[in-house]
Structure 1
């Protein structure tokens, strides 16, 4: 079975959806979400964004590497995420000055 839509044309009236206000939405068929449900909720990472990557050799202090490796098998992706966040913060700082 393929993961392709049955119809290539959407049957959704998107103009009507865009025009709806919050109070127009019918939630009668949705179960109520309680505070207890939120307490047990688990945040999961979304789909991975495909970006071109480069393999590099980087000198990192051993204790820093040990800490990242202790975070789990995707420690390299975590390092990349933190470097990206730092880069974006620096860009914003430089643009605002």
Structure 2
């Protein structure tokens, strides 16, 4: 059985108005003191946890199809390394992008 993805676009500038019930819930939450929140089901995050944490471990960016002009010798070199030359192009560009963001 195949699953079909459903996408919805939401215009954040034109959200439907909140119901009275939703407004009451938000008001009650805003009045609650932080000390009254029950965190017993959430384990504390220790320094050890953050030491082993990885940024973006489960992040999967969306792909966009585009057309680019690449020197013929560069493309030949990428293709000569076997299947997956487009993924290699992406990896090279991502590495450069991340380096420039440091």
The bucket for the TM-score relative to the shorter chain is 0.3 to 0.5
TM-score, length-scaled by structure 1: 0.44
TM-score, length-scaled by structure 2: 0.42
